[in-house]
Amino acid sequence: MESSMCILILCLSAITPVIRARVVPVPPLLQNYEKPSSNNIFDNSMYGLLQLNNGLARTPPMGWNSWNFFACDISETVIKETADALVATGLADLGYVYLNIDDCWSASERNSQDELVPNPKTFPSGIKALADYVHEKGLKLGIYSDAGRFTCQVLPGSIYHENDDAKLFASWVSLWYMYPIYNILLCLDVGIECMNLIFHGVIQGVDFLKYDNCYNLGINPKERYPPMRDALNATGRTIFYSICEWGVDDPALWAGELGNSWRTTDDINDSWASMTMIADLNDKWAAYAGPGGWNDPDMLEVGNGGMTYQEYRAHFSIWALMKAPLLIGCDVRSMTAETLEIVTNKEVIAVNQDPLGVQGRKVYVSGTDDCLQVWAGPLTGHRIAVVLWNRCSKAATITAAWGALGLESSTSVSVRDLWKHEDVVTDKVASFRARVDAHSCDSAGSEPLLATTKEESTDGGSEGSKNPNPIFSETGDDFWACGASTVDLLGCRLFDGMASLEKILEVNPCSSACKEFSSAN
C-alpha cells in the first residue's frame, strides 16, 4: 500500500546525549571565507559573515508577489483585492503579510523632476494610496525596481537614482490618513522636522524592495547593489532588501552584508523540472543562510496549475525546509481548496519560520539519477525536519537512516507527519522508511517526508527572548540531553556538555516518562 506521507516530525526520546545539532559558533563579521566547513551535516559556518543587520528577516519573509501569476497584468484593483483576499483567507494571520508588487507598476518615463511615477492607467490613485490601504489591513507593502538602466520590462531602473528612489519609496505615506489632527499640530510645532519625517517616510512607506538585475550595463553586482542598501538605510525606515541578482555571481558569497535575501537562481517557472532544478541549485548555499539573510530560490508556484497537487506539496515542503522566502505566487483571490490547504499548512510553515534559522539540505540520495532523496535540517526544540522526496517516476521506499541525519542509530525518536497532522510512530531507532509515490502519479505522488526530533522544551516561553538559536550560541558544546516521545507532550532541552544527568533532571522539567526512562538506565 502506498503511503501518502509527506512531512513528518521525529521526536527524540533517548536519554543519552546524541544529537550534535549544534555547529561551530560563528562570531558575525569575523569568519573568513576560506575556513573549511565543519563536517557537521547541518553546517552553517558561512552564516553571518557579513550581516546586513537591519533588524529584519529574523525568519524568512512570508507574503505574496504579483509576478508569477500576473506578470505585467497588474493594477491597483488587483493589489487591493489581493490585500482583501490575504486577510479574508486567513493567510495574513498565518504570517503572509508582505504584499509585493513586482515589475510594471511604474510609468515608462520618469517625470520632469526625474522621479519614478506610477503608471497612471493602472495605478491612477498612486502607490501612496495603496500603501495606506495595505497598511490599514495590517499588511506590509513591497515594491520593485532594478539595479540597472531599466527594469526587465524596460521601465525606468534605479541605477544612479538610488537615493531619490529610496526616498520616494519610503515617502509613500499619507500623513493625514495616519494622524489627521495630531500631525497638523505637530507640523506647526516642529516645522521642518515634521516635514522630514513625512518625506523620509519614517511613519509609513514601503516595507520591502525587490531589486532586479536587468539592463545592468555590465557593471559588477557588488558595485550595483550596495548603493541601494545605503539609500534604503538612509531613509531611516527599515525596508526589507531583496536582492534579485539571479545567482549569477554567487551572491551567497557577498550579498549577506547587502540584503535580507538574495536570489540564488534564475527565475522559477511553473513546472516540476524548474522547481526541482532550482531546489538543487539553492541547496549548494545552505551554509550561508541564517536569521537576517536568506537564500532565495524564487517565489512559490503553488496554485498556478503547472504541477500536480503532490508536486506542489513537495514544492512547498522543500521551500519551507530550505528556509526560502514563502512568497505565494498565485491569484489568492481565487485559490482552490487544495492550494489553500497547501499554503496554510501551519506545521510546514512552522518549519520555515523556526527561529533556529538553519537551512535544510539534501543529506542522502539513492536510486536512478539520485532520484530518491532525503532532505533534512535542524529545528529548535532539538528536532530535525526531514523530507523524503521521491523524484523518480515510480513509487519507491525511501529510508532515512539516523546516520544521514547526524543521529546515533540508537537514538529513539517519534515521528510526526506534517501533512497528515498525525504522529506516525514512537520510539523508532536506526531509521525511518516510507513508501513514497512518484511525482508523476495521479494521487499521492512525490511525497516528501519531514521529520523532526524534539529538541528544546518551550517552557517559560523562553524561546522568544533568550537566545532562541543554540546553533549560534557562543558557549561550549551543547547537545541533546533529555528526550521526548511526542512533539507536544514532552520536552527536551539543550544542555551544556559537562552537565551531569542529575543537573539535567534538576533543571529540565522533563516529563515523568523521561525520568522513568533515565532511572531505569
Ligand X SMILES: *[C@@H]1O[C@H](CO)[C@@H](O)[C@H](O)[C@H]1NC(C)=O
Q: Which residues bind ligand X (CB under 6 A)?
A: 53-55, 233, 236-238, 269, 271, 273-274, 277
Closest separation between CB of residue 200 and ligand X, Å?
10
Smallest distance, ligand X to C-beta of residue 357, A = 19
Residue 348 and residue 333: Cα distance in Å, rounded? Answer: 22
Query: From the CB of 269, what's the least distance to ligand X, in Å?
Result: 4
Is the distance from CB of 360 to CB of 376 less than 8 angstroms? yes
Contact 448, 401 (CB under 8 A): no
Q: Strand, helix or coil at 46?
A: coil
Give the residue with the Cβ less far from ligand X, 55 or 218.
55
Q: Kindly write down the DSSP assignment for every residue of 374-403, as one continuous string.
A: EEEEEETTTEEEEEEEE-SSS-EEEEEEGG
What minimum distance in Å lies between the beta carbon of 490 and ligand X? 40
For the bound state, the minimum distance from the C-beta of residue 101 to ligand X, rounded and expressed in Å, comes to: 21
Q: Which of 139, 65, 90 is nearest to 345 (CA)?
A: 90
Nearer to ligand X, 263 or 383 (CB): 263
How far apart are the C-alpha atoms of 99 and 105, rounded to whole Å? 13
Residue 481 has φ and ψ, to the nearest 5°, of -115, -60
DSSP letters, 95-131, are: T--EEE--TT-B-SS--TTS---B-TTT-TTHHHHHH
- Nearest residue to ligand X by CB is 274
Judged by beta carbon, residue 296 or residue 423, the one nearer ligand X is 296
Cell of 161: 537614482
Q: Which long-range contacts (CB under 8 A, 24 or more apart) does 438-441 make?
A: 438/390, 438/392, 438/393, 438/394, 438/395, 438/396, 439/272, 439/308, 439/310, 439/311, 439/314, 439/390, 439/391, 439/393, 440/308, 440/393, 441/310, 441/395
Comparison of 158 and 508: residue with beta carbon closer to ligand X: 158
Residue 249 appears among annotated catalytic residues: no
Q: Is there a catalytic annotation at residue 267?
A: yes
Collapsing DSSP to helix, strand or coil, 428 comes out as strand
We find the least distance from the C-beta atom of residue 307 to ligand X, in angstroms, to be: 11
Q: How far is the CB of 211 from ligand X (least distance, A)?
A: 15
Q: What separation, in Å, do the N-terminal and C-terminal C-alpha atoms of the chain show?
A: 38
For 403-437, b/e burial (b = at least 16 CB within 10 A) is: ebbbbbeebbbbbbbbbeeebbebebeeebebbbb
Which of the residues 164, 267, 280, 496 is marked catalytic? Answer: 267
The pairing of strands 413-417 and 422-428 is: antiparallel
Which cell goes with 177?
Answer: 490618513
The smaller minimum CB distance to ligand X, of residues 292 and 483, is found at: 292
Kindly tell me which of 16 and 54 has the beta carbon lying closer to ligand X. 54
Give, in order, the Cα–Cα distances in Å from 330 to each of 46, 274, 287.
Answer: 33, 16, 30
Burial zone of 464 (CB within 10 Å; 0-12 exposed, 13-18 middle, 19+ buried):
exposed
Nearer to ligand X, 54 or 163 (CB): 54
Number of helices followed by number of strands (H, E) in the chain: 16, 18
Task: Report in angstroms how near the CB of residue 247 gets to ligand X at its nearest.
Answer: 13
DSSP code for 290: B
List the catalytic residue out of 102, 146, 165, 212.
212
All 3 cell numbers of residue 47?
Answer: 552564516
Q: Mention every residue, 6+ apart, whose C-beta is less than 8 A from residue 484.
A: 11, 12, 13, 414, 454, 490, 491, 492, 511, 514
CA separation for the pair 389, 400 (Å, rounded) = 11
The DSSP call for residue 6 is: -
Residues classed as catalytic: 212, 267
